[in-house]
Copies of this chain bind each other. A is one copy, B any other.
Amino acid sequence: MKIGLDIMGGDYAPKATVLGAIEAYKTLSADQKLVLIGDREIATSILQENNANPDNFEFVHTTEVIGMGEHPTKAIVQKPDSSISVGFKLLKEGYIQAFSSAGNTGAMLVGGMFSVKTIPGVIRPAMTTIVPKLKGGLGILLDVGANADCKPDNLLQFGVLGSLLAESVYGISNPRVALMNIGEEEEKGNLLTQASYHVMKDTNMFNFVGNIEGRDLFSGEFDIAVCDGFTGNVILKLAESFYVITLKKGFKDEFFDRFNYEQYGGSPILGLNQPVVVGHGISSPEAIKNMVLLSKNMVESNLIDKIKQAFQ
Contacts and interface: CB of A to CB of B under 8 A. Distances in A.
Interface of A: 134, 145, 148-149, 180, 182, 189-191, 193, 213-219, 228-231, 233-242, 244-246, 249, 251, 253, 255
20 contacts: A148-B182, A148-B191, A149-B190, A149-B191, A182-B234, A182-B237, A190-B228, A190-B229, A215-B238, A215-B240, A215-B241, A215-B244, A219-B241, A230-B231, A231-B234, A234-B234, A234-B235, A245-B255, A246-B251, A251-B253
Contacts of A218: 241, 245
Given A230-B190, A233-B182, A253 B242 contact: no
Given A218-B241, A219-B241, A245-B134, A145 B235 contact: no
Contacts of A214: 233-241
Contact of A249 (B190, B191, B255): B255
A211 to B, nearest CB: 12
Contacts of A249: 251, 253, 255
Contact of A238 (B230, B239, B246): B239
Contacts of A242: 239, 242
Nearest to A241: B215
A242 B132 CA distance: 13
A214 B144 CA distance: 12
Contacts of A231: 230-231, 234
Given A230-B231, A234-B180, A253-B249, A189 B148 contact: yes
Closest 3 CB pairs of A and B: A214-B237, A214-B238, A148-B190
A251 to B, nearest CB: 5
Contacts of A219: 241
A196 to B, nearest CB: 12
A184 to B, nearest CB: 10
A245 B133 CA distance: 12
A171 B189 CA distance: 34
A241 B216 CA distance: 8
Contacts of A244: 215
A233 B193 CA distance: 14
A134 B248 CA distance: 11
